[in-house]
Amino acid sequence: MDKFCGGLYRLGDKVIVFFALLSAGVLLFCNLLRTCWVGYDTMELIDTGETPRIFIFLAVAVLVILLILQEKLAHLQEKYVFRFFMILYLIAGVYWILNISPSVRADALHVRNGAMMSAQGDFTFLELGQDIRNHPWQLGMITYERLLGMFSKNVQLLFLVNLFMILGINYMTYRLADLVFSHNHKTNLLTIVFTFCFLPQFFFLAFAYGLIPGFFFLMGGFYFQQKYFAEKKTWQVVVCIVMAVIAVILKGNNLVGGIAMALLFFMRLLKERKLRYILMALALMIGIQASGPLTIAAYERESGIELNSGEPKLLYIAMGIWPENRENGVGRYCGYNDYTYGQANFDPEVANQMAKEHIAESVAHYMADPKDAVAFFSKKLVTIWCDPLFQSLWSGPLSDVGQTVDTRILESLYHGALLEDLAEGYMKVFLILILILACCFLFDRKCRSEGYWYALLYFIGGFLLHIVWEAKSQYTYPYVFVLLPGCARSVISLGEALEVRAKKYLPEITQRLPWKKREGEEG
Q: Burial, 519: exposed, middle or buried (Cβ in 10 Å; 0-12, 13-18, 19+)? A: exposed
Stated as kind and residue range, the H or E segment containing 48 is: strand 46-50
Residue 52 carries which DSSP code? P
Q: Is residue 142 situated within a structural domain?
A: yes
Q: Is residue 516 situated within a structural domain?
A: no
Angle at 255 between CA 252 and CA 258, to 5 degrees: 145
With bands split at pLDDT 50, 70 and 90, how would you rate the model's confidence at 516?
very low
Q: Give CA–CA dist 72/70, Å, rounded.
A: 5
Amino acid at 515: W
Contacts of 232 by beta carbon, 8 Å cutoff, 6+ apart: none
Write out pLDDT tens, residues 396-408: 888 878 888 889 9
Highest mean pLDDT among 33-42, 254-263, 439-448, 504-513: 254-263
Q: Is residue 287 situated within a structural domain?
A: yes
Q: Is the pLDDT of residue 523 over 70?
A: no
Q: Is the pLDDT of residue 514 over 60?
A: no
Q: Is the pLDDT of residue 255 over 70?
A: yes
Q: Burial, 353: exposed, middle or buried (Cβ in 10 Å; 0-12, 13-18, 19+)? A: middle
With bands split at pLDDT 50, 70 and 90, how would you rate the model's confidence at 45?
confident
Q: Is the pLDDT of residue 520 over 60?
A: no
Angle at 261 between CA 256 and CA 266, to 5 degrees: 125
Q: Is the pLDDT of residue 133 over 50?
A: yes
Write out pLDDT tens, residues 418-461: 999 999 999 999 999 999 999 999 998 888 888 999 999 999 99
Structural domain harbouring 122: 2-511
Q: Is the pLDDT of residue 56 over 50?
A: yes
Backbone torsion region of residue 232, taken as left when φ is above 0, otherwise alpha when ψ lies between -120 and 50, otherwise beta = left
Q: Tell me what the pLDDT averaged over the chain comes to.
A: 91
The confidence score (pLDDT) of residue 371 equals: 95
Q: Is residue 523 situated within a structural domain?
A: no
80-94, 178-192, 423-437, 491-505: least confidently modelled range? 491-505
The confidence score (pLDDT) of residue 129 equals: 79
Q: Is the pLDDT of residue 251 over 60?
A: yes
For the residues 192-197, what does the mean pLDDT come to? 97
Burial 84-116 (b: 16+ CB within 10 A, else e): ebeeebeeebeebbeebbeebbeebebbbbbbb
83-87, 160-164, 481-485, 503-507: least confidently modelled range? 503-507
Q: Phi and psi of 414, rounded to 5°?
A: -95, 0
The confidence score (pLDDT) of residue 42 equals: 75
Write out pLDDT tens, residues 72-93: 888 899 999 999 999 999 999 9
Write out pLDDT tens, residues 325-358: 888 788 888 889 999 999 999 999 999 999 999 9
Q: Is the pLDDT of residue 306 over 60?
A: yes
For the residues 215-234, what does the mean pLDDT come to? 96
Tally of structural domains, the chain: 1
Backbone torsion region of residue 62, taken as left when φ is above 0, otherwise alpha when ψ lies between -120 and 50, otherwise beta = alpha
Q: Give CA–CA dist 76/94, Å, rounded.
A: 27
Q: Burial, 207: exposed, middle or buried (Cβ in 10 Å; 0-12, 13-18, 19+)? A: buried
Q: Is residue 303 situated within a structural domain?
A: yes
Q: Is residue 517 situated within a structural domain?
A: no
Amino acid at 502: A
Q: Give CA–CA dist 149/115, Å, rounded.
A: 8
Q: Give CA–CA dist 95/68, Å, rounded.
A: 34
Q: Is residue 92 situated within a structural domain?
A: yes
Q: Is residue 298 situated within a structural domain?
A: yes
The confidence score (pLDDT) of residue 519 equals: 44
Q: Is the pLDDT of residue 500 over 80?
A: no
Residue 280 carries which DSSP code? H
The confidence score (pLDDT) of residue 512 equals: 54
